[in-house]
Amino acid sequence: MQNFDLVIRGGTVVTAADSFECDVAIRDGRIAALGNGLAGDRIIDAKGLLVMPGGVDSHCHIEQLEADGSIHEETFTTAGISAFAGGTTTVIPFAPQFKGQPIREKLAEYRRRAALSPIDYSFHQIITDPDAEGLAEELPEIVASGIRSLKVFLTYDPLHLDDRQYLKVLTAAKKLGAIITIHCENYEAIRWRSEALLKAGLPGPASHALSRPKVVEREATYRAIALSELVDQPIHIFHVSCGEVAEEITRAKRRGVKITAETCPQYMVLGAGDMDRPGFEGAKFMCSPSPRAAGDASDAEGLWAAITAGTLDIISSDHCGYSIEGNRGKKINGADADFTRIPNGVPGLAARMAITFSEGVSAGRIDASDFVRLTATNPAKRFGLYPRKGLIAPGADADIVLWDPGRQVTLTNQLMQHAIDYTPYEGLKVTGWPVMTIARGKLVMEDGKVSATAGAGEFLPASLSPAMKPRGVVPDDFDAAAFS
Amino acid sequence: MQNFDLVIRGGTVVTAADSFECDVAIRDGRIAALGNGLAGDRIIDAKGLLVMPGGVDSHCHIEQLEADGSIHEETFTTAGISAFAGGTTTVIPFAPQFKGQPIREKLAEYRRRAALSPIDYSFHQIITDPDAEGLAEELPEIVASGIRSLKVFLTYDPLHLDDRQYLKVLTAAKKLGAIITIHCENYEAIRWRSEALLKAGLPGPASHALSRPKVVEREATYRAIALSELVDQPIHIFHVSCGEVAEEITRAKRRGVKITAETCPQYMVLGAGDMDRPGFEGAKFMCSPSPRAAGDASDAEGLWAAITAGTLDIISSDHCGYSIEGNRGKKINGADADFTRIPNGVPGLAARMAITFSEGVSAGRIDASDFVRLTATNPAKRFGLYPRKGLIAPGADADIVLWDPGRQVTLTNQLMQHAIDYTPYEGLKVTGWPVMTIARGKLVMEDGKVSATAGAGEFLPASLSPAMKPRGVVPDDFDAAAFS
Amino acid sequence: MQNFDLVIRGGTVVTAADSFECDVAIRDGRIAALGNGLAGDRIIDAKGLLVMPGGVDSHCHIEQLEADGSIHEETFTTAGISAFAGGTTTVIPFAPQFKGQPIREKLAEYRRRAALSPIDYSFHQIITDPDAEGLAEELPEIVASGIRSLKVFLTYDPLHLDDRQYLKVLTAAKKLGAIITIHCENYEAIRWRSEALLKAGLPGPASHALSRPKVVEREATYRAIALSELVDQPIHIFHVSCGEVAEEITRAKRRGVKITAETCPQYMVLGAGDMDRPGFEGAKFMCSPSPRAAGDASDAEGLWAAITAGTLDIISSDHCGYSIEGNRGKKINGADADFTRIPNGVPGLAARMAITFSEGVSAGRIDASDFVRLTATNPAKRFGLYPRKGLIAPGADADIVLWDPGRQVTLTNQLMQHAIDYTPYEGLKVTGWPVMTIARGKLVMEDGKVSATAGAGEFLPASLSPAMKPRGVVPDDFDAAAFS
Amino acid sequence: MQNFDLVIRGGTVVTAADSFECDVAIRDGRIAALGNGLAGDRIIDAKGLLVMPGGVDSHCHIEQLEADGSIHEETFTTAGISAFAGGTTTVIPFAPQFKGQPIREKLAEYRRRAALSPIDYSFHQIITDPDAEGLAEELPEIVASGIRSLKVFLTYDPLHLDDRQYLKVLTAAKKLGAIITIHCENYEAIRWRSEALLKAGLPGPASHALSRPKVVEREATYRAIALSELVDQPIHIFHVSCGEVAEEITRAKRRGVKITAETCPQYMVLGAGDMDRPGFEGAKFMCSPSPRAAGDASDAEGLWAAITAGTLDIISSDHCGYSIEGNRGKKINGADADFTRIPNGVPGLAARMAITFSEGVSAGRIDASDFVRLTATNPAKRFGLYPRKGLIAPGADADIVLWDPGRQVTLTNQLMQHAIDYTPYEGLKVTGWPVMTIARGKLVMEDGKVSATAGAGEFLPASLSPAMKPRGVVPDDFDAAAFS
């Protein structure tokens, strides 16, 4: 057995099921061997550290093209740096579709932009207009190119789909073998409440939470599930914000629905009350669905219960980079814009792994294998990147994060290393921190110092991994034969 | 104590809670006294019979005006006869609204027609277009006139409301103190499946059930509930067809939602399989939601479990009179019309009480007080007719049915005494049968012989009965203060 | 119609389902007529008052003989006075069995004592020793005499039955058509915790709650239900203390188990914290199961949710009269006796109706018909006294309470009019108060002034009322045929 | 890197989370490396095979000493052969305690017997008499010796513990850091029903199922859980037989109870009807709890639902070797002994893995990682043998099974290679079969040919693995402080 390029020596390897001490050897960008006393050109001492698969952030907005011609500030370049800083080695951002337009051209542009990515990436293809001309021809081609998850919005102007459009996308996905991912909130309900809040003279950021209470997300989630049952098409629910919504997903899983779901760190540590800070400050915490708990921890506990019960499969960042200042920032409509005119979303690429580890593992709610499962293995399996990504095993890409489980860190925006001018987690104390990130065998972060090479990232075509293929039962009232 | 007009002697009086033997005395159309040895101008021997409140059928379509200019065959006159034949003494049919048109004129016409009714009646006001000009002025006036329940459809062309329109009606009702009643099925899902079934070459009546499986009703029910929670407005769910839908209502009641619900006899004794009969025969059983069970009794049992658990509060007929033949009948679009072009609905005014008693009381699933509660007391309370209707007590209208609990009858269309040329219950054997009906002190049916006087029926203005006022809790995520 | 003895004029009659204004006429101790303008020898003006069935307290300890030869302080005479003061007109206390002894002699003595009762009564027969010689012969005779409910304890020395003994009683009851009523707490668990608390140096009354946490009651309740399912024998669960226990009963009802259950006012308004008062004061609140909530209202809310959902059928007092002082009082083992040596139980005969009305009806959680159902109709039905007791209808006993729904009263021991030297509800403010009690046509309480005649009370033989007969399903894994 | 002793080349390694192709290298009885192109003294071609951790059977009776002086037929020697034949490399049998006797001497004898084991083993220590003299001194010593799980029976004469005794064992275990494993059935209920069945003239094996219906197991499971909640002591429920029992465990997990549970293959493929075969034949299928489903698959589906939902953590064999013939066999009390006198239990050491794989993985209910988790990783973690056993990773014992997922085999007793003269699975067809077993690096089975060396097995002292340490919440009504 010839020499290895790199050997990580003496750490505790953690997989989604197991935990054991051994060396990890890397050659040609892949994990070549697990063993003891392995020799290599370079040796990294991992004593006392956890050796885990690099994070797979399956929900993050990067350099996203918007219908108004603007582009998200966070470029593939800056996002890659931020991801590496936080221990993440794969991202799945979103390719756009604009209403009434075909996808091909925009997708090509998006792929051109992504070609500069320092970090490996796959895509979700947003579908905002299933009726656009030519889509029927484009979609098979898009899926064949390795983009196997389609994202739909049930809210937001002008993104939201109505039930007919959603059914159309479900049906198309079923034929093509694609997954549907969904932002679940009721469009009209939010519109109705927003108008009422503005009419009531409550334009401040705090109204964001009031405009979209839990029931708005719960309803849309139930509907998204029900219509997927009708079509018998697998779905993935994005950014579940509270236990009440998770409960509907638990029930669906019990009925045999082919469904997975995720939550995000903002729902563990932020609250509706954060948006009630004076002035424009509250806008920093504004994302959709809204952070819930106001002054107590009840929603976080509901989410953790759903995580440990296996209802929530993935923890993503929903990284959405809007600075406060700047020409694409939260103040784009002025510092006194009402809450409906402030861009939604919070950055979290770099913070996702650390907050999840701290609130989960360090707080005793989950173990390190659960952490790996939620942040790397499951996202890779669910979105067809496994077994190239999401595990530590010979043959897999050498995407590895070395984690110091005892390191205590206070989050600052500087630590995030993103393009955004703030973090909603400023001042949050976490226990557990990534000290080294390796991407396909290259050391891309060491003690916070990132070295990212533009264009080093590869596009990862997705397959439908049988390992994560949802096991389901066709709803008993669905007569598939009638349509064959 | 002067003499009474009429004394029902020696029967067993049954109320929604109690059961006891005594005489019932009537004077001037009202119950004047309960006691023993009461004397009157006329004595009816009720020995061995149950003396119960006349039925209140809170969901039936009578002489309904349709947007296409047609009118339902069942007139107030024929409906009154059929109702009396079956032991029902109060009906609540539907006043129409046509899209884009104000209500006033059509309501006036409907009231003119109703003026010929031999049976007491109240109205639900259908709202198909909450955006119609002038509605904001009309609605307070309509509610003030004693029509306090508004009916909305979440499916059917061109009746269905979208979420925005439904929220608008909920909000209006909240301000006016009206109840919202809802037909819950998902419009787009039915449309999608219907198109697929037609494309698959399955145009027969059997496809009706396949076009709207349970999940389609379950989704719309959940959404109707969720949006009512958002507004904190009481609702009533019409014609629950199966245990799965009832389960969502059970959960809503547990959350404190202000909700009541009903089912109908067609969901107890008919099945999806009935629509698979040869030729046009299946059309006789076509109603929406669809009868469910095909070949087994599971859906009926789910409904009875929901009835005994208190989830379902009312049993109505959803009487919808389309003959097979005739110019407004099921064959209006031809005997080979596809299932989407056959009018929906089955007649049940006369059958409702007998089927409910037989399947419920005679079958040992409920007791006679439950029967009274479900068929008379609760509908009267829920729709503001109590304590004038729905009970046997001094001061209440003398609406009484004498019931022979042991009488075995095989249902025929002749027994129904309606204007319709068939009954879906032809041949059904029931145990328990109404032998005499008294309406406001007048004997209107005796041993099947009905004497109905055109115009004898009165309009019953509805109040919001505190006794049936749903006890609820404002959803905890609803900040009412924000809108005050 | 001849003149009546007494007419209650102008009140609002409330039954378990209905509410209406009319007069109530009484003749020869029975309700003779309901009507308007009724004439009688005596007229009582009930304007503004509720006219409801006198309370039926189906769980109260009166003049109970104990194995140590002592007798509860509250005699039938004093209990009758207290009951009338509180609006209750029927009591169901307990006839004793002593271990190893036949029942006949003690029952005869108990009946002799009861012969002095001023209030109508029925009996539960306690079974502490199903293995006692001669029981097989005695039980049929006891049941035939009209005592159709057998009470068993799953805890307390020396009263508790083990599983074998409980199965024996279930089987005997099934043969005889009797109901089993049960005190559910785990005997060994309480013993284990009590020993631990004493060993830990915590002998004060506050340890009572710690010695029997909810799980102790929840386990015994589940076991009592499960073994009754095995035998397919109807049971009634006494004094449910919290929502967690009620949840097991809800589940049993959903499975079709033949079960009813009750709670008591002490679980609505007292808490575990009350036992932590200084000195011996805490002993005043000591009963079993223990009051739960400490400092918050969560347990009361759980109980009210179970009441409105129909899980809890009855509210009884579990009146248990131990004075603080006196030779049969709480201090019988000294003022410094440890918590295991202080008699358990709190008095509540006079307070039951008022606390239930105030916390229930006045607080808006239930309506007046629910109150009648819970405090009179259901107990009468469940224990075979209906339709003689528990309703207002011609032919029923004229047991009536006139209730002022708006009267605000602060509870004091004097108002209780019992033999006990304290009330645990001292100082509790209630809204709603009984202003007149009529027992079989006799006015026995007016404005707090009670006139009770020793021996005026009658023994009420119980029948199994079909109206309350639990509707159940034989557990599907029980092969009854195997034992026939 | 020097040469390896053995290299398994080209197979698909399956862990409880991951699945990937690579070689597995072994040196000195341990897994030395995972990689590709590894060289070794011996190469095994695993192309097309799954390479999985050897099975850990955490519930099997081997050479067990009984109070009557008899010893189970299956010796450590024959059990080792059977286990290797079926792909299992670790067993956890039971060390006995006899009532009234100290443990030390019997344990020593049992360890002497186990010293001849060809297969690695750990022990559960049965506790039948927590009151035996000296136990308080013995237990710490036993736990310190590496036996950290105590087994209690809630049924069986003379093994069963009452609640007091069970609480005593729970408390002792809490102090010592041991796990409690439990056989949950209600002792008295079974006794009562058995007597009734015999009295009814139904002595045949079919009565076994009737004597212990589901509710008997469900009750005891609930009680076992509840009392463990009281003490806050981790427990493991043995051999869950149906979905109804699993439901109580699901609820407990949701409450935060520290609980794990298992089921066994006999509950997946055998039914109560099997015991109804003519003559003594039914006795072959007699085990406790009883196989449930009679003629349908409903119970198996309930169990699989609980497995996929994560409620059931482990699949064990509960191997219990009684031959039909022979002086310790099922006919020990004669071929016409009534069902209460026929030894309970069925053999399954060799069949466990194959039935689980076939019914689980081949049938599409679980994936191969789930199989590894249920049959190897979880049992090793739960009983403190991890990370030495239950995983494929460098440093772990080289316990490996090579599995042909497509091999179709019809089970026969000969294939079982145990000491027992029958298998209850005779004729069962399975898909998936072990083709090679390696125990600590030694090839102990190849194509059904077993080579087992007496004494080659090692005793495995158990630790409390943090990875499997149940995450729980102290029940909220337990005031631990009161006892500190």
The answer to whether residue A70 sits within a structural domain is: yes
Domain range for D174: 55-371
The answer to whether residue B411 sits within a structural domain is: no
End-to-end alpha-carbon separation of chain C, Å? 55
Inform me whether the pLDDT recorded for C342 exceeds 60.
yes
Q: How far is CA C408 from the centre of its chain?
A: 25
Tell me what pLDDT residue B220 has: 98
CA angle B228, B231, B234 (to 5 degrees): 50
Place of tokens 């059929």: B82
Average model confidence (pLDDT) across chain D? 93
C475: left (phi over 0), alpha (psi -120 to 50) or beta: beta
The answer to whether residue C266 sits within a structural domain is: yes
Task: Determine the average pLDDT of the residues in A137-149.
Answer: 95
Inform me whether the pLDDT recorded for C374 exceeds 70.
yes
Tell me what pLDDT residue A205 has: 95
Residue D244 CA to residue D253 CA, distance in Å, equals 15
Which residues 6+ apart lie within 8 Å of A403 measured at CB?
A: A49, A50, A51, A52, A87, A357, A432, A433, A434, A435
Tell me what pLDDT residue B261 has: 97
Cis peptide before D289 (omega within 30 of 0): yes
Residue of B23, B308, B391 with shortest CB distance to C20: B391
Inform me whether the pLDDT recorded for D463 exceeds 50.
yes
The answer to whether residue A83 sits within a structural domain is: yes
**pLDDT range class, residue C466, cuts 50, 70, 90:** very low
Structure-block tokens of residue B149: 């329940």
Tell me what pLDDT residue A479 has: 40
Tell me what pLDDT residue D469 has: 42
Residue D261 CA to residue A442 CA, distance in Å, equals 44
CATH code (residue C140): 3.20.20.140
**Strand, helix or coil at C227?**
helix
Tell me what pLDDT residue C295 has: 55
Task: Report the percentage of chain B scoring pLDDT > 90.
Answer: 89
Nearest Cα residue to B253 out of B167, B312, B328: B312
C51-61, pLDDT tens digit by residue? 999 999 999 99
Task: Determine the average pLDDT of the residues in B141-155.
Answer: 96
**pLDDT range class, residue C297, cuts 50, 70, 90:** low
To 10 degrees, what angle do helices B243-254 and B298-308 make? 20
Task: Determine the average pLDDT of the residues in D396-400.
Answer: 98
Inform me whether the pLDDT recorded for A483 exceeds 80.
no
Q: With an 8 Å Cβ cutoff, are B215 and A200 in contact?
A: no
The answer to whether residue D364 sits within a structural domain is: yes
Q: With an 8 Å Cβ cutoff, are D254 and A309 in contact?
A: yes
Higher local confidence (pLDDT), A453 or B473? A453
Inform me whether the pLDDT recorded for A475 exceeds 50.
no
Tell me what pLDDT residue A269 has: 95
| Alpha-carbon distance values, A451 to A82, A437, C414 (Å) | 11, 10, 84
Inform me whether the pLDDT recorded for D378 exceeds 70.
yes
**pLDDT range class, residue A183, cuts 50, 70, 90:** very high
Residue of B164, B171, B188 with shortest CB distance to A188: B164
Inform me whether the pLDDT recorded for A480 exceeds 50.
no
Q: Which chain D residue's Cα is nearest to A388?
A: D20
Average model confidence (pLDDT) across chain C? 93
Cis peptide before A424 (omega within 30 of 0): no
Task: Report the percentage of chain A scoring pLDDT > 70.
Answer: 94
Helix or strand run (H / E) with residue D85: helix D76-86
Place of tokens 């009885």: D29
Task: Determine the average pLDDT of the residues in B386-407.
Answer: 98
Structure-block tokens of residue A105: 């051209």
Structure-block tokens of residue B247: 């389960």
Average model confidence (pLDDT) across chain A? 93
The answer to whether residue B143 sits within a structural domain is: yes
Residue B27 CA to residue B442 CA, distance in Å, equals 10
Q: Which chain D residue's Cα is nearest to A252?
A: D309
Higher local confidence (pLDDT), B327 or D240? D240
Task: Determine the average pLDDT of the residues in A366-373.
Answer: 96
| Alpha-carbon distance values, B359 to A300, B263, B363, B368, C113 (Å) | 48, 13, 5, 12, 49
Q: With an 8 Å Cβ cutoff, are A226 and B214 in contact?
A: no
Lowest mean pLDDT among B328-332, B414-418, C226-230: B328-332
User: How many CB atoms are located within 10 Å of the residue A396 CB?
Assistant: 21
Which residues 6+ apart lie within 8 Å of A443 measured at CB?
A: A6, A44, A436, A437, A451
A300-350, pLDDT tens digit by residue? 999 999 999 999 999 999 999 899 998 889 999 999 999 999 999 999 999
Inform me whether the pLDDT recorded for D295 exceeds 60.
no
C99-147, pLDDT tens digit by residue? 988 899 999 999 999 999 999 999 999 999 999 999 889 999 999 999 9
Please report residues of D whose CB lies closer than 8 A to that of C169.
none
Classify residue D467 by its DSSP letter.
Answer: T
User: Tell me, what's the ipTM?
Assistant: 0.95
Helix and strand tally (H, E) in chain A?
A: 14, 23
Q: Which chain A residue's Cα is nearest to B209?
A: A477
Q: Which chain B residue's Cα is nearest to C311?
A: B309
Please report residues of D whose CB lies closer than 8 A to that of C202.
482
Q: With an 8 Å Cβ cutoff, are A230 and B213 in contact?
A: yes
Which residues face D34 on adjacent strands?
A34, D24
Inform me whether the pLDDT recorded for A360 exceeds 60.
yes
Which residues 6+ apart lie within 8 Å of C450 measured at CB?
A: C81, C84, C85, C417, C437, C444
Which residues 6+ apart lie within 8 Å of A189 measured at CB?
A: A212, A215, A216, A219, B163, B167, B227, B230
Q: Which chain C residue's Cα is nearest to B392?
A: C18
Inform me whether the pLDDT recorded for C296 exceeds 90.
no
D21: left (phi over 0), alpha (psi -120 to 50) or beta: beta
**pLDDT range class, residue B50, cuts 50, 70, 90:** very high
Tell me what pLDDT residue A120 has: 98
Residue B160 CA to residue B138 CA, distance in Å, equals 20
Helix or strand run (H / E) with residue B188: helix B187-199
Tell me what pLDDT residue D328 has: 84
D269-280, pLDDT tens digit by residue? 999 999 999 989
Inform me whether the pLDDT recorded for A189 exceeds 70.
yes
Cβ atoms D39, D4 nearer than 8 A: yes
pTM: 0.95
Please report residues of D whose CB lies closer than 8 A to that of A373.
17
Please report residues of B whose CB lies closer than 8 A to that of C394.
20, 22-23, 34-36
Tell me what pLDDT residue A482 has: 35
Residue C358 CA to residue C300 CA, distance in Å, equals 13
A252-298, pLDDT tens digit by residue? 999 999 999 999 999 999 999 999 999 899 999 999 999 997 655 56
Inform me whether the pLDDT recorded for C65 exceeds 60.
yes
Residue of C25, C253, C367 with shortest CB distance to B467: C367
Cβ atoms A208, A339 nearer than 8 A: yes
Inform me whether the pLDDT recorded for B163 exceeds 50.
yes
Which residues 6+ apart lie within 8 Å of B157 measured at CB?
A: B187
**Cβ pairs B/C, distance under 8 A:** 118
D11-49, pLDDT tens digit by residue? 999 999 999 999 999 999 999 999 999 999 999 999 999
Tell me what pLDDT residue B296 has: 56
Q: With an 8 Å Cβ cutoff, are B163 and A193 in contact?
A: no
Inform me whether the pLDDT recorded for B210 exceeds 70.
yes
Task: Determine the average pLDDT of the residues in B26-36.
Answer: 97
Tell me what pLDDT residue B471 has: 36
Q: What is the tally of structural domains in chain B?
A: 1
Q: With an 8 Å Cβ cutoff, are A197 and B482 in contact?
A: yes
Helix or strand run (H / E) with residue D179: strand D179-183
A81-119, pLDDT tens digit by residue? 999 999 999 999 999 999 988 899 999 999 999 999 999
Please report all neighbours of D, defined by 3+ CB atom pairs within 8 A. Answer: A, C
Which residues 6+ apart lie within 8 Å of A323 measured at CB?
A: A73, A329, A330, A419, A420, A421, A422
Residue of B163, B219, B230 with shortest CB distance to A215: B230
The answer to whether residue A406 sits within a structural domain is: no
Nearest Cα residue to D154 out of D190, D206, D125: D190
D152-211, pLDDT tens digit by residue? 999 998 899 999 999 999 999 999 999 999 999 999 999 999 999 999 999 999 999 999
Task: Determine the average pLDDT of the residues in D235-253.
Answer: 97
C259-295, pLDDT tens digit by residue? 999 999 999 999 999 999 998 999 999 999 999 976 5
Q: Which chain C residue's Cα is nearest to B387?
A: C20
Average model confidence (pLDDT) across chain B? 93
Tell me what pLDDT residue A3 has: 82
B60-114, pLDDT tens digit by residue? 999 999 888 889 999 999 999 999 999 999 999 999 999 988 899 999 999 999 9
Task: Determine the average pLDDT of the residues in D462-484.
Answer: 42
Instruction: Assign 3-class secondary structure to B1-29.
Output: CCCEEEEEECCEEECCCCEEECEEEEECC
Residue of D1, D37, D467 with shortest CB distance to A19: D467
Tell me what pLDDT residue D47 has: 97
The answer to whether residue C436 sits within a structural domain is: no
Tell me what pLDDT residue D294 has: 64
Residue C173 CA to residue C475 CA, distance in Å, equals 18
Which residues 6+ apart lie within 8 Å of B386 measured at CB?
A: B377, B380, B465, B467, B468
Q: With touching defined as 3+ CB pairs under 8 A, do chains D and C touch?
A: yes
Tell me what pLDDT residue A297 has: 59
